[in-house]
Amino acid sequence: KILILDFGSQVTQLIARRVREAHVYCEIHPNDVSDDFIRSFAPKGIILSGSHASTYEDHQLRAPQAVWDLGVPVLGICYGMQTMAVQLGGEVSWSDTREFGYAEVRAHGHTRLLEGVQDFATAEGHGMLKVWMSHGDKVTTLPQGFKLMASTPSCPIAGMANEDKGYYAVQFHPEVTHTVQGAAMLTRFVRDIAGCAGDWIMGNYIEEAIAKIREQVGDEEVILGLSGGVDSSVAAALIHRAIGDQLTCVFVDHGLLRLNEGDMVMDMFAGKLHAKVIRVDASELFLGQLAGVTDPEKKRKIIGGLFVDVFKAEAGKLKAAGNGVKGATFLAQGTIYPDVVESGGTKTKKATTIKSHHNVGGLPEQLGLKLLEPLRELFKDEVRELGVALGLPPEMVYRHPFPGPGLGVRILGEVKKDYADLLRRADAIFIDELRSTIEPNSGKSWYDLTSQAFTVFLPVKSVGVMGDGRTYDYVVALRAVQTSDFMTADWAELPYSLLKKVSSRIINEVRGINRVTYDVSSKPPATIEWE
Ligand code: XMP
């Protein structure tokens, strides 16, 4: 396995991603872990990450001495290259300005890392690489035993190597996709240079994760808030596989879930997996508190706050009673790697609050429980793979995201039970048709071709005609978007025939709705959800 030491770069997680794409297991740890930690981790190779944009004040960060004493290959990236140079006796010129951008790097000599890896060759036959470069600080003198591996006109030492020791370093970022050969270089390092087998698959991860959970939990008990979403479901399935009945799941049903969703969650976890699940039907409480409230932010705060209260009350009971033995001491959460990075201290977040997201941060402290977060190292797509490997149905694991406040933000203005019931039925029809309509060129369903799709309830009435009679009923809007990061999104160009079928089914099958519209707004300026 590979150890990645993180100096605080925003793209460190991409290094992990590329390494795992090469089927090599790796973990990211802070740059200041102890020498003992590194020795007991026993990596076959170590990667030193970059650091955040303003390294100037942080250029004291160093890799622990054990990195150099272990005798394993080391790859330094950007700041990792600079600290490698300094620690091994080279020189760096530090600067408080830094440039990012595309660069063409010339490879020098024959190094194992870059041999045969190139994007094009110059007329003189030099191998050239198209890379994403960040420089400002740069290595100016090679440490003893190192040779030049790469250069650009503005960064004469853009890469260096000490092949006897297996030390390599590059000033550019091989982990970002703009560096065309980046994945090839990282694969070369972890497989050929560090000698990792490249046989790591999710199945191995399950065994390792189970062993870790058992070790961490011992004979204590764990509670987990199950929402039906992908992350908490996969966490529950994994922990249950590890410790069985020492896990109790608490599923808070706020009455704003999709059609049959609560039953499906119970069916899966209590029915098929035989996990202990407590379903708390809190819909009356939620709907009661939401009565008369129309402001979206107020609605979000009420739902988020109640959720925490209900969960806390339930967890408190379990903490006291346990599930028969001595009371829960751990709170499990489905935190995944991107959540860790987003809430990490290294980023300065200046974003204004557009919507206050539902979040249960702070709960473990309030409840006096220890945290168990078995998915902390994984990316979303890996969590999904893990879910399937654990036997969860692919339809569940590959579901579109669903917001914490649920239908509460998809019913505009005041939330009422009647509205929620109408919306649930209309939405189920939309999703059903998206799943069953195949786009012929890709062979994929429109559900899989969209990132998120749902129905929004508009509490306005419009006039229609049905049979011989006049109707005066509600309107729904269909929303389907395509996006890779949910920060920006385009509305999906669904086929007219599909829209037509959905519209006619909803109006015919859901009495109370007589008009269906399609939302053709992109984000920005609109958001994905309507509230
Ligand atoms: P917006 O509407 O801000 O949504 O464009 C971006 C993504 O975030 C989801 N979303 C939420 N997820 N709790 C969540 O867990 C929330 O309060 C929440 N609000 C929005 C939304 O569904 C979309 O995927």
How far apart are alpha carbons 432 and 417 in whole angstroms? 22
Please state the rounded mean pLDDT for residues 409-434.
98
Q: Which atom of ligand 1 is nearest to the CA of 452?
A: 24
Residue with tokens 């890709």: 442
Q: What SS3 state is found at 211?
A: helix
- Phi and psi at 516, nearest 5°, equal -125, 130
Which of 407, 529, 530, 531 to probe ligand 1 with, by most ligand atoms within 8 A of CB? 529
- 230 annotated among ligand-binding-site residues: yes
- Tokens linked to 11: 């793209």
- 227 annotated among ligand-binding-site residues: yes
Strands 2-7 and 45-51: parallel
Residue nearest ligand 1's atom 18 by CA:
403
Q: Residue 320: its pLDDT value, please?
A: 67
Please state the rounded mean pLDDT for residues 377-398.
90
Alpha-carbon dihedral 199, 205, 208, 210, rounded to 10 degrees: -150
Q: Residue 149: its pLDDT value, please?
A: 96
C-beta of 404 in contact with ligand 1 (< 6 A): yes
Q: How far is CA 220 from CA 322, 325, 375, 380, in A?
A: 10, 9, 20, 28
Please state the rounded mean pLDDT for residues 311-321.
80
How far apart are alpha carbons 200 and 378 in whole angstroms? 14
**Least confident segment among 322-326, 340-344, 518-522:** 322-326
Which of 257, 333, 336, 357 to probe ligand 1 with, by most ligand atoms within 8 A of CB? 357
* Domains in the chain: boundaries: 2-193, 202-397, 410-518
Q: What are 110-169's pLDDT values in tens digits?
A: 899 999 899 999 988 889 999 998 778 889 999 999 999 999 988 999 999 999 999 999
Please state the rounded mean pLDDT for residues 425-444.
97
Q: Which of 478, 531, 470, 468 is nearest to 504 (CA)?
A: 478
529 CA to middle of ligand 1, Å? 7
Specify the pTM.
0.76
pLDDT band, very low/low/confident/very high, at 361 (cuts 50, 70, 90): low
Return the exposure string of 85-103: e unless at least 16 CB atoms fall within 10 Å of the residue's CB, then b. Answer: bbbbebebeeeeeeeeeeb
Higher pLDDT, residue 359 or 303: 303
Crossing angle, helix 496-509 and helix 417-436, to 10 degrees? Answer: 140
How far apart are alpha carbons 315 and 333 in whole angstroms? 13
Is 2-193's fold the same as 410-518's?
A: no
Task: Assess whether pLDDT exceeds 60 at residue 513.
Answer: yes
C-beta of 523 in contact with ligand 1 (< 6 A): yes
**In this structure, how many other beta carbons lie within 10 angstroms of the beta carbon of residue 525?**
6
C-beta of 297 in contact with ligand 1 (< 6 A): no
- Domain covering 410-518: architecture: 2-Layer Sandwich (3.30)
Task: Assess whether pLDDT exceeds 70 at residue 489.
Answer: yes
pLDDT band, very low/low/confident/very high, at 355 (cuts 50, 70, 90): low
- Phi and psi at 27, nearest 5°, equal -135, 150
338 CA to middle of ligand 1, Å? 15
DSSP string, 498-523: HHHHHHHHHHHHSTTEEEEEE----B
> Which residues are designated catalytic?
78, 173, 175
pLDDT band, very low/low/confident/very high, at 347 (cuts 50, 70, 90): very low
Residue with tokens 């049905």: 466
How far apart are alpha carbons 295 and 287 in whole angstroms? 15
- 233 annotated among ligand-binding-site residues: yes
Residues in the chain: 531
Burial of 19 (0-12, 13-18, 19+ CB in 10 A): buried
Task: Assess whether pLDDT exceeds 90 at residue 306.
Answer: yes
Residue nearest ligand 1's atom 24 by CA:
401
Residue with tokens 């079928």: 501
pLDDT band, very low/low/confident/very high, at 486 (cuts 50, 70, 90): confident
For the chain, give the percent of residues with pLDDT over 70. 93
For the chain, give the percent of residues with pLDDT over 90. 72
Helix (H) or strand (E) holding 110: none
Q: Residue 480: its pLDDT value, please?
A: 98
Task: Assess whether pLDDT exceeds 70 at residue 351.
Answer: no
Please state the rounded mean pLDDT for residues 89-118.
88
Choosing among 1.20.1440.130, 3.40.640.10, 3.40.50.880, 3.40.1160.10, the CATH entry for 2-193 is 3.40.50.880
Q: Residue 82: its pLDDT value, please?
A: 93
Q: What are 247-295's pLDDT values in tens digits?
A: 999 999 999 999 999 999 999 999 999 999 999 999 999 999 999 999 9
C-beta of 528 in contact with ligand 1 (< 6 A): yes
Burial of 351 (0-12, 13-18, 19+ CB in 10 A): exposed
Please state the rounded mean pLDDT for residues 380-385.
88
Q: Residue 350: its pLDDT value, please?
A: 34
Q: Residue 8: its pLDDT value, please?
A: 84
Q: What SS3 state is found at 341?
A: helix
- 134 annotated among ligand-binding-site residues: no
Q: Residue 332: its pLDDT value, please?
A: 94
Task: Write down the mean pLDDT value for the chain.
Answer: 90
CATH code for the domain defined by 202-397? 3.40.50.620
- 229 annotated among ligand-binding-site residues: yes
Task: Assess whether pLDDT exceeds 90 at residue 312.
Answer: no
Q: Residue 42: its pLDDT value, please?
A: 96
**Least confident segment among 39-43, 351-355, 525-529:** 351-355
